[in-house]
Amino acid sequence: MRLKEIASRIGGTVEGDGEVDIRGIAGVKEAQEGDIAFLLNRGFEKYLPASRATAVIAGPGADKTVLANKNRVIVENPALAYVEVARLFEPSHAPAKGVSGSSHVSEGAMVHPEATIFPYVYVEEGAVIGKNAVVHPFCFIGREVKIGEDTVIYPNVSIYDRTVIGKRVIVHAGAVLGADGFAYIWDGQRHKKIPQLGVLEIGDDVEIGANTCIDRASLAKTAIGQGTKMDNLVQIGHNVAIGAHSIIVSQVGIAGSVTVGRNVVLGGKVGVRDHVAIGDGVMAAGGTGITKDVKDKAVIAGTPHMPHRDWLRLQTYLKKLPELFERMRKIEETLHRG
C-alpha cells in the first residue's frame, strides 16, 4: 500500500514521498525498510535518526528536525491513527462457516448458517447463536443463551443458562459468564446457598479478558454496558451494573449490587465493596479500595479511597515519618534532661 493511500485513510498530510510502498507496521526501534512507524510520544524521537522505517506517522507537535529525512504523515492524533493503520496490516483468517461434526448442538438450539462452531463445543437447548458468530473449541453454551452476530467466543469459555451476549463482543479464553453469585445465609449450623435466579446481560461491543468471571444476578440482572472493556482476571459480582464505555483493568474485584457509571476507569487491583454507587467519569488509581459512594468525575486513590491529591499528600507525609520520629525523640530527650 502506498503511503499516500494510508494518509488518505487516516486523514493525514503527507510530507515527503507519498508514492513509497508500505508493507508492514513496526515500532520506531524495530522497523525495517518497508515499515511504517509511529511517534506516539516525544520520548521516541531520539530513536528516529537510527530508525530504518520507510515512513513515520507523527503529530503536529513533533520535532521537524528529527523528521527531516523521513517520509511522514502528520495527523492530529497519532494514537488513533495507529489503531486504524494496525487494522490495515492485521493478519486475517476467516474460519469456515458451519457446525463441526465433532461438536454437539442440541435439537432445540438455533445456530445461524453463517456462524462458526468449532470442534468440541457443547450447545444446550434453546441457545441462539447469531450470524458470523464464532465459538472456539471446548466452549459450553448453556440453555437459552443468546449470542449476537459477529461475536467471538475463544476456547474454554463457559456461558451459563440464559446469559445474553450482544453483537461484536469478544470473550477471551477461560472466561466464565453467568455463574451463580456468591450468596449464602447462616442458619445457625451451616451456610445455606441463596438461589441465583437472575441473568447476565452483556451489551454490544464489549470485550472480556481471559479468565474473567461475571456472576448472574440473584433476581433481576447483572448488566455490562455497551463498549465496556475488561482486562484479564476480573471478578464481577451478582447484581452489578456497569455503564457504557468503562475500562476495568486486571484483578479488579467488584462485590455484589454495585453500580458503576459510564466512562469509568478502574485501575488494576481496585476493590469495590458491595452496594456502592460509582458515578460517571470516575477514575480510580490501581489498588484503590472503594468503600462508599463516589461522585461523578472524581479521581481517587488509596484505601479507604480518598481524592487523589489527598493521597499524594499523604504519601509525602509518610516518607517524612522517620525524620519526624527522630525529631520527636530528640525533643523528648531534651525535655527529660531539663
Question: What mean pLDDT do residues 168-172 have?
Answer: 98
Q: Give me the helix-helix angle, 78-89 and 3-10, nearest 10°.
A: 120
Give the residue range(s) of CATH 2.160.10.10 domains in the chain: 98-311
The secondary structure element, H or E, covering residue 51 is: none
pLDDT digits (tens, 9 = 90+) for 47-95: 988 999 999 999 998 888 888 889 999 999 999 999 999 999 988 788 8
pLDDT digits (tens, 9 = 90+) for 179-191: 999 999 999 999 9
pLDDT score at 222: 98
Per-residue pLDDT at 336 exceeds 80: yes
Cβ proximity of 271 and 253 under 8 Å:
yes
Q: pTM to 2 decimals?
A: 0.90
**Distance separating alpha carbons of residues 326 and 308, to the nearest angstrom:** 29
Give the residue range(s) of CATH 3.40.1390.10 domains in the chain: 3-89
pLDDT score at 338: 67
Q: Please state the CATH superfamily assignment of the domain spanning residues 98-311 in this structure.
A: Hexapeptide repeat proteins (2.160.10.10)
Cβ proximity of 20 and 37 under 8 Å:
no
Residues recognised as catalytic: 238
pLDDT score at 44: 87
Q: Please state the CATH superfamily assignment of the domain spanning residues 3-89 in this structure.
A: MurE/MurF, N-terminal domain (3.40.1390.10)
Question: What mean pLDDT do residues 275-284 have?
Answer: 98
